[in-house]
Structure 1
Amino acid sequence: MSFLNGTSLTPSSFILNGIPALKGVHLWISFPLCTMYSIAITGNFGLMYLIHTEEALHRPMYIFLALLSFTDVLMCTSTLPNTLCILWFNLKEIDFKACLAQMFFVHTFTEMESGVLMLMALDRYVAICYPLRYATILTNSVVILVIPFTFLTKRLPYCKSNVIPHTYCDHISVAKISCGSVKINAIYGLMVALLIGGFDILCITISYTMILQAVVSLSSADARQKAFSTCTAHICAIVITYVPAFFTFFTHRFGGRTIPPLIHIHYHG
């Protein structure tokens, strides 16, 4: 096979096939993607600059917002430029090591975003339930966990194909085209999702349960409304982040034969 390195079963490169079912409209798809990418970059950098320059915003809640904006910029930049090159110029080939690097960054920034959302839920819990102790309980520290999916993927043999039916490299999309056993990859991926994503969601659920109890106990309707309004943006961010992520994760593992590949690409993209 020409795409293999000599007698090795490690490919020299992969072919990212974009969105095969919509190949005829790749150019049209690229314009809204480019627009959304430009808006995301401009908006997030603007927010980070504002938080950095305004001393009054140097508080945990705004630090978390800046960190969330930072991870959004990195997440978009790790996938969108490559996607636009595929849609605009049909540049589908990506070096094997570059594919692994992209996979590493995609999953790293995903875990960072999940962690920040969990910390923001804790921030809202402390601000609403312990407002007088808010400044002493929460400090400006964040723990970032990096998940090295790349090592599990690099060990796999690729003797069937090097064509990935996707717009960028992610763990399961790359592992699925291997001719070896991906059982360890699937188990590890599931373990990570349940331990990290599940832990974050559990913490968020507990935080909002306690917030709800505290808000309901308030005597004033205006106070309840004000308390709930401070959580609205965070709840929207949680829904937008976790629903597509978990849909993609579980359909990749349990719905691969019943859900069309086009749906996988739309949600995961």
Structure 2
Amino acid sequence: MDISEKLYALRRGRQLSQEELAEILGVSRQAVQKWESGASTPDVGNLVALSDYFGVSLDELVKGEKQPQPSAPPADDVDPFPRRFQWEYKSKRTLFGLPLVHIHLGWGLCRAKGILAIGNLATGLFSLGALSAGLFSLGGLSLGLLALGGLTLGGVALGGVAIGLLAIGGLAVGVVSLGGLSIGVYAVGGAALADRVAIGGFASGHIALGERARGSLAYSRATCTPDLLRRMILDEYPHTWKALVDFLTLFLE
């Protein structure tokens, strides 16, 4: 069996189209078609990528020769988590050219791209992974309209470090931010630093309410009433959304 036949058999065994294999390798579909027809041969870099992806040796891929298998190690020495482990599922149904579900898990870089994407690196409408990006994303590093994770960036961001329009976290940076250390236009937290309204243990802003408050209009948080805060905000910033004003007054009740 020559390399073209071997490559065809491996691809069909994984139930991949030529286009899907081309996307995995970062080449064109025409390149894969030429390899399988025997019109051309993959270069060294692509041979290594094919060998790694299909889990076969270069000799087996190029010459069709299987390497002799080493004798099984004693049961106590078997590694329960082999380093080459990878598991992938991609639904046949698609939307906007993306699979509805793409799951790619294992050791090393496993990328998942779909409407629902789950993988080490996940991109999709709904994404879950160590690194995730999407409309709704959850991960160690998460980017999205709604992002949750250790480090998050998004419209609404919740995380250890959160950056967004609405940011909630240990360290929160946003237009409206809530956190241990909160920085924004409107900030609420243990330490709150704001351009307009700051509410916290330590508060610094144009309007500042806190145990320690510093600003043009600075008051003790304990003595300031919700009605007083509402009047100050609307006097200083008359175009502020009423819903936002009501939200900020909740922290005085």
**TM-score grouping bracket, smaller chain normalisation:** under 0.3
Normalising by the residue count of structure 2, what TM-score does the alignment of the two structures yield? Answer: 0.23
Higher relative contact order, chain-length normalized (CA < 8 Å, sep 6+):
1
**Higher Cα Rg, which structure:** 2
Flag the structure with higher helix content: 1
